[in-house]
């Protein structure tokens, strides 16, 4: 693993995580749990749609990136078609609101604009990441995207009393849209060259055969992290949704940032080694990623579980008691889900086995949808987290045994014992602080 690349790229995840952390603190303290739940539900809708519409394209672009830039040309064309479809839907909404007086037009407009701006921003980020060996450009752009998406809204909430959720959403999505407009003007020549690059028909077919199975994969994966919010809202109410969203946002901020720092800089290197048939080097990088996951993430989970009340009181103040009830299980569920999609599921992409990937994700996702819906009736938002935990563990076992036949996942005993020792040390410190300081 290239530690230098990780250090260079880490601000691309650490700075956005800090911005997200500031947004979490400001929004949860300024808004009621019900209002924060509504804000979270809208942002989740935007993220779900942009992932559904754009992520399958950018994943195929990454996997098939070549010197001729065929994959980038195809990706930009497909993104253009989707963007035109979104514009048509928005136009229909405008006309419908004018003549039929739809009451949800403002919400629909925010979602459509947010879907486009978030989706295209992520496509641009991944293009920069795969096209440039150095990571400085990617790091700078990633920080800039997250700054535009959150900081203006944070400033608005801080200086505006009785903030409405709609105003926060408008500021977020249109600030990012302005950034995209500036990028398109500055890099207009590069965009024109990439769009006009004529893709090879055989390559285009391979691209689509790889990409299309990713669509149901993305839908199924989002059943775990986004659609479950709607289940909570229906069965448990906006207060429970607000508590779950606060716990999820905090845990995802830390855990997803860790996985991004670890795996995203190494993913292009593994792909290059696989394309050059350097299987041994690719496996070596992948195995080191697994070792670091055990060494860092497992002790972190123990730390969060033991100091749950202290962390929630420190961050959420008067809402701490409600959030603390679900925070530990949400953290574990978030870790397992990120471990699955950012580590285990990469095996399918390395081997171009997206059809098997599709079947696995659809089965697990549908089962989760059914189980989470039933459990949330009795256990509230915690029922959704329990379902996420159990089904992601099942999925990881399946991928682990599947990898035996091709790109084997190897777990280091040494890393496991070191992680266990760290966990024991954390427990010892907790017992000491609790005994002498009453520290929870």
Q: Per-residue pLDDT for 98 more than 80? A: no
pLDDT of 440: 47
Rounded CA-CA distance 176/114 in Å is 8
Average pLDDT, the chain: 80
pLDDT of 1: 46
Q: Per-residue pLDDT for 5 more than 60? A: no
This prediction has a pTM of 0.69
Q: Which two tokens stand for residue 50?
A: 């942009």
What is the average per-residue pLDDT within 368-387? 86
Rounded CA-CA distance 117/181 in Å is 10
169 and 39 in contact (C-beta within 8 Å)? yes
Q: Per-residue pLDDT for 267 more than 50? A: yes
Greater pLDDT, 279 or 220: 279
pLDDT tens, position by position, 31-74: 887 888 888 888 888 888 888 888 888 888 877 776 556 788 88
pLDDT of 178: 92
368 and 224 in contact (C-beta within 8 Å)? yes
The secondary structure element, H or E, covering residue 228 is helix 227-235
Q: Per-residue pLDDT for 403 more than 70? A: yes
Greater pLDDT, 115 or 297: 115
Greater pLDDT, 43 or 100: 43
Name the one residue in this structure whose structure tokens are 């996985």.
259
Rounded CA-CA distance 35/106 in Å is 17
* Domain boundaries, given as residue ranges, for the chain: 31-212, 214-440
Rounded CA-CA distance 148/160 in Å is 18
Rounded CA-CA distance 407/348 in Å is 9
Greater pLDDT, 230 or 154: 154
What is the average per-residue pLDDT within 258-262? 78
pLDDT tens, position by position, 8-17: 556 666 777 7
pLDDT tens, position by position, 153-199: 888 888 876 677 888 888 988 999 999 999 888 888 777 777 777 77
Q: Percent of the chain having pLDDT more than 70?
A: 89
pLDDT range class, residue 357, cuts 50, 70, 90: confident
pLDDT tens, position by position, 140-153: 888 888 888 889 98
């Amino acid at each position: 693993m290239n530690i230098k690349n990780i250090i260079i790229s880490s601000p691309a995840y650490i700075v956005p995580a800090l911005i997200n952390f500031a947004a979490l603190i400001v929004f949860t303290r300024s808004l009621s749990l019900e209002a924060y739940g509504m804000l979270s539900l809208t942002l989740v809708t935007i993220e779900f749609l942009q992932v559904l519409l754009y992520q399958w394209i950018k994943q195929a672009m990454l996997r098939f990136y070549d010197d001729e830039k065929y994959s980038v040309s195809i990706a930009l064309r497909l993104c253009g078609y989707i963007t035109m479809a979104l514009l048509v839907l928005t136009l229909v909404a405008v006309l419908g609101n004018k003549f039929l007086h739809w009451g949800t037009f403002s919400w629909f407009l925010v979602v459509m604009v947010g879907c486009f701006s978030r989706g295209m921003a992520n496509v641009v980020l991944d293009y920069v990441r795969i096209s440039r060996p150095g990571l400085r450009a990617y790091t700078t752009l990633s920080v800039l995207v997250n700054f535009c998406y959150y900081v203006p809204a944070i400033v608005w909430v801080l200086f505006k009393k009785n903030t409405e959720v709609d105003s926060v959403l408008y500021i977020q999505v249109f600030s990012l849209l302005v950034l995209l407009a500036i990028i398109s003007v500055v890099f207009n020549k590069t965009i024109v060259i990439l769009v006009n690059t004529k893709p090879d028909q055989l390559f285009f077919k391979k691209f689509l055969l790889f990409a299309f199975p990713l669509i149901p994969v993305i839908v199924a994966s989002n059943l775990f992290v986004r659609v479950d919010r709607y289940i909570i809202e229906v069965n448990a109410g906006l207060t429970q949704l607000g508590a779950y969203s606060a716990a999820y946002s905090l845990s995802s901020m830390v855990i997803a940032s860790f996985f991004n720092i670890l795996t995203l800089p190494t993913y292009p290197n593994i792909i290059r080694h696989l394309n050059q048939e350097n299987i041994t080097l690719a496996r070596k990088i992948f195995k080191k990623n697994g070792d670091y996951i055990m060494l860092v993430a497992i002790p972190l989970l123990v730390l969060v579980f033991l100091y749950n009340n202290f962390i929630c009181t420190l961050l959420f103040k008067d809402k701490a008691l409600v959030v603390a009830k679900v925070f530990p299980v949400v953290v574990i569920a978030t870790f397992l889900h990120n471990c699955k999609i950012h580590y285990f599921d990469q095996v399918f992409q390395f081997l171009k086995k997206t059809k098997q990937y599709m079947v696995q994700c659809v089965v697990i996702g549908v089962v989760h949808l059914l189980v989470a819906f039933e459990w949330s009736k009795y256990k509230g938002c915690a029922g959704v987290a329990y379902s996420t935990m159990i089904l992601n563990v099942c999925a990881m076992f399946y991928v682990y045994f599947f990898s035996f036949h091709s790109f084997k996942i190897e777990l280091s005993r040494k890393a496991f014992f070191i992680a266990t020792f760290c966990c024991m040390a954390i427990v010892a410190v907790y017992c000491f602080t609790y005994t002498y300081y009453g520290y929870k």
